[in-house]
């Protein structure tokens, strides 16, 4: 029997392709449907959920499992400090200029044949061997002499201060690559394993419902009660997600069959700095904070903070803030603070209140992904009520997780209000 006889009426073809594809759907508004509203929900009062709006605009890579795993590797270290080795060569926190063995805080920075420079004295030495945290070195390796031991150039060996010195900090030691002999074999490899990170997919559900009798009764204010409830639920749903994205803690509670995703603060918890940006020294303190915040990663970053911190920032930075539109990049209007270290887009949110009122977070959005799972990137599910219910129930549903990479490219500001 022909389709137009068996299924009379004009249906909506949900297949892409030629006419006559096998599946048609009817009465979309009256049946259970899953409607993708992710883009629409982002732009309901976007200033209240700036991270969700900006993150959703910047990157949405799908989560392919309920536990998302990724690996990050820190840059190889090239600084360490001299340490107390407990020997006669280290007396009162001083390693004598002629000592060829001494401890360092982290010997993994070096390999045999590496060249080391003592930052305070300028001395250059070369590593002969390593045993635990003890280096055996040739001192004053950059000190060049001519006839009759006359100095031609370079720096002589000098005393090195250790962590046990009474009045001076331990000397900083910088790795400067290696110096290999002619016809040498390859030096010992210098490699480190990446660190494993993970997060869970969290399910957010925001239902709203009503009776058919209520829906049928006309209201003086006019409009659809169902549509009004839908808009309210959409805003609440998005606010729930925003709070979890920023403040959530990761856990999988098997006994409850529940997963929670970790938020921004969990993944960058170690990247914290206190800087009072109020008062006469506010600008200098903020610039010092930004120097660290921009040390790694992109030179364009996002600053999420409270309206109160934003006001303090505006007090000293009026001439350095551009009232510009970041809509093309971030999806909402933002102010841009121009510093020597990079451009900082500033977004304030009322989420940063109470104990969070004096905090903010600088984010490198190139290393952050909001990851929807199983196509549930905020969908509206209609008519999910029981079959015999004399009423209706709809809900917004989102399944997502957060991936935050390269923690050192982000920075938490604390104590901003003194």
Q: Which of 178, 206, 222 is a domain's end point?
A: 178
pLDDT range class, residue 190, cuts 50, 70, 90:
confident
Residue 189 domain-assigned (yes or no): no
Task: Encode pLDDT of 313-334 as tens digits.
Answer: 988 877 777 765 555 556 677 8
Do 372 and 412 sit in the same domain of this protein? Answer: yes
Q: Is the pLDDT of residue 279 over 50?
A: yes
Do 266 and 372 sit in the same domain of this protein? Answer: yes
Task: Encode pLDDT of 122-160 as tens digits.
Answer: 999 999 999 999 999 999 999 988 777 777 788 999 999
Task: Encode pLDDT of 74-107 as tens digits.
Answer: 778 889 999 876 554 555 788 999 999 999 999 9
137 CB-near residues (< 8 Å, 6+ apart): 100, 101, 102, 116, 125, 126, 127, 128
Buried b (16+ CB within 10 A) or exposed e, 332-350: bebbbbebebbebbbbbbe
Structure tokens at 306: 């409270």
Q: Is the pLDDT of residue 58 over 70?
A: no
Number of domains in the chain: 2
Do 68 and 84 sit in the same domain of this protein? Answer: no
DSSP one-letter code for 378: S
Residue 227 domain-assigned (yes or no): yes
Do 168 and 278 sit in the same domain of this protein? Answer: no
Do 42 and 139 sit in the same domain of this protein? Answer: no
Higher pLDDT among residues 374 and 346, named by residue: 346
How far apart, in whole angstroms, are the C-alpha atoms of residue 205 and residue 303?
A: 29
Do 67 and 89 sit in the same domain of this protein? Answer: no
Do 60 and 174 sit in the same domain of this protein? Answer: no
Residue 183 domain-assigned (yes or no): no
Do 283 and 415 sit in the same domain of this protein? Answer: yes
Do 66 and 94 sit in the same domain of this protein? Answer: no
Residue 14 domain-assigned (yes or no): no
Q: Is the pLDDT of residue 381 over 70?
A: yes
User: Are 79 and 174 within 8 A, CB to CB?
Assistant: yes
Do 227 and 174 sit in the same domain of this protein? Answer: no
Q: Is the pLDDT of residue 6 over 50?
A: no
Residue 266 domain-assigned (yes or no): yes
Q: Which of 150, 178, 206 is a domain's end point?
A: 178
pTM: 0.77
282 CB-near residues (< 8 Å, 6+ apart): 276, 312, 315, 316
> What CATH number does the domain containing 69 carry?
3.90.1690
Do 198 and 313 sit in the same domain of this protein? Answer: yes
Burial class (CB in 10 A: 0-12, 13-18, 19+), 227: exposed
User: Are 239 and 51 within 8 A, CB to CB?
Assistant: no
Query: Rg (Cα) of the chain, in Å, rounded?
Result: 31
Q: Which domain holds residue 96?
A: 79-178
Strand partners, 251: 260
Q: What percent of the chain has pLDDT over 90?
A: 57
Do 142 and 237 sit in the same domain of this protein? Answer: no
Residue 2 domain-assigned (yes or no): no
Half-sphere exposure of 54 (CA within 13 A, CB side): 29
Other CB atoms within a 10 A radius of the CB of residue 321 amount to 16
Residue 187 domain-assigned (yes or no): no
Residue 285 domain-assigned (yes or no): yes
Q: Is the pLDDT of residue 192 over 50?
A: yes
Backbone angles phi, psi at 317, to 5 degrees: -120, 20
For 12, 18, 119, 187, 207, the CA distances from 5, given in Å and listed in that order, are 16, 19, 88, 80, 39
């Amino acid at each position: 029997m022909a389709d137009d006889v068996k299924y009379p009426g004009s249906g909506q073809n949900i297949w892409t392709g030629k006419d006559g594809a096998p599946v048609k759907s009817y009465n979309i508004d009256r049946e259970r449907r899953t409607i993708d509203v992710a883009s629409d929900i982002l732009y309901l009062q976007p200033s209240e959920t700036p991270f969700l709006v900006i993150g959703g605009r910047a990157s949405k890579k799908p989560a392919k499992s309920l536990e998302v795993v990724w690996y990050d590797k820190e840059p190889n270290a090239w600084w360490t400090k001299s340490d107390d080795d407990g020997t006669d060569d280290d007396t009162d926190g001083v390693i004598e200029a002629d000592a060829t063995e001494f401890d360092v805080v982290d010997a993994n920075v070096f390999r045999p044949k590496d060249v080391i420079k003592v930052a305070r004295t300028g001395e250059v030495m070369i590593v002969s061997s390593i045993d635990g945290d003890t280096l055996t070195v040739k001192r004053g390796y950059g000190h060049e002499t001519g006839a009759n031991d006359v100095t031609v150039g370079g720096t002589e060996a000098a005393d090195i201060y250790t962590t046990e010195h009474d009045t001076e900090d331990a000397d900083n030691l910088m790795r400067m690559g290696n110096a290999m002999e002619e016809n040498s074999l390859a030096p010992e490899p210098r490699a480190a394993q990446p660190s494993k990170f993970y997060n869970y997919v969290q399910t957010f559900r925001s239902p709203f419902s009503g009776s058919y009798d209520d829906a049928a009764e006309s209201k003086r204010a006019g409009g659809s009660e169902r549509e009004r409830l839908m808009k309210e639920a959409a805003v609440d749903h998005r606010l729930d997600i925003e709070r979890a994205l920023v403040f959530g803690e990761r856990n999988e509670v098997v006994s409850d069959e529940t997963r929670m995703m970790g938020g921004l603060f969990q993944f960058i918890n170690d990247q914290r700095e206190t800087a009072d940006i109020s008062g006469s020294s506010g600008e200098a303190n903020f610039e010092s904070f930004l120097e660290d915040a921009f040390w790694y990663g992109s030179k364009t970053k996002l600053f999420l903070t409270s309206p109160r911190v934003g006001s303090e920032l505006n007090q000293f930075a009026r001439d350095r803030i551009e009232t510009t539109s970041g809509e093309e990049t971030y999806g909402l209007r933002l102010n841009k603070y121009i510093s020597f270290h990079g451009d900082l887009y500033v977004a304030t949110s009322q989420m940063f209140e109470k104990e969070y009122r004096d905090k903010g977070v600088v984010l490198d959005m190139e290393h952050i992904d909001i990851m929807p799972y199983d196509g549930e990137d905020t969908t509206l599910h209609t008519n999910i009520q029981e079959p015999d219910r004399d009423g209706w129930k709809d809900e917004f549903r989102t399944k997502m997780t957060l991936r935050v990479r390269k923690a050192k490219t982000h920075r938490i500001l604390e104590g901003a209000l003194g």
